[in-house]
Amino acid sequence: MVNQLLAGVHIASAAEAIAFAARLGLNTRLLFDFITISGGTSWMFENRVPHMLNNDYTPYSALDIFVKDMGIVTRESSSLKVPLQLSTIVHQLYLS
């Protein structure tokens, strides 16, 4: 569950970061190269962002799996009374 929490949040944050960089007028390809050698990188960032930059919308994982996995994470955290705000928001993003 912890791995899926990180994977789900990393994909969402990578997409948000690249969209923000584009709106700032930054060269997103150059930014990608910089981030991959910086502390902000993750496997999901390095794996999924090149597809985003190439407008490649081929599914590389099923969205339903992330909805399911993030749902498990948020339900379990709720039952344990552990607030996971980011995971809950990401779950809602995947649902929408």
| pTM higher than the cut 0.95 | no
The domains of the chain, with CATH numbers, are 1-95 (1.10.1040.10)
Q: Is 15 exposed, middle or buried (0-12, 13-18, 19+ CB in 10 A)?
A: middle
Q: Is the pLDDT of residue 59 over 80?
A: no
pLDDT over 80 at 72, yes or no: yes
Q: What is the mean pLDDT of the chain?
A: 94
pLDDT of res. 61: 73
Contact criterion met (CB below 8 Å) for 42 and 66: no
**What average pLDDT does the segment 7-31 reach?**
97
**How much is the pLDDT for 47?**
94
For the cut 80, the answer to whether the pLDDT of residue 94 exceeds it is: yes
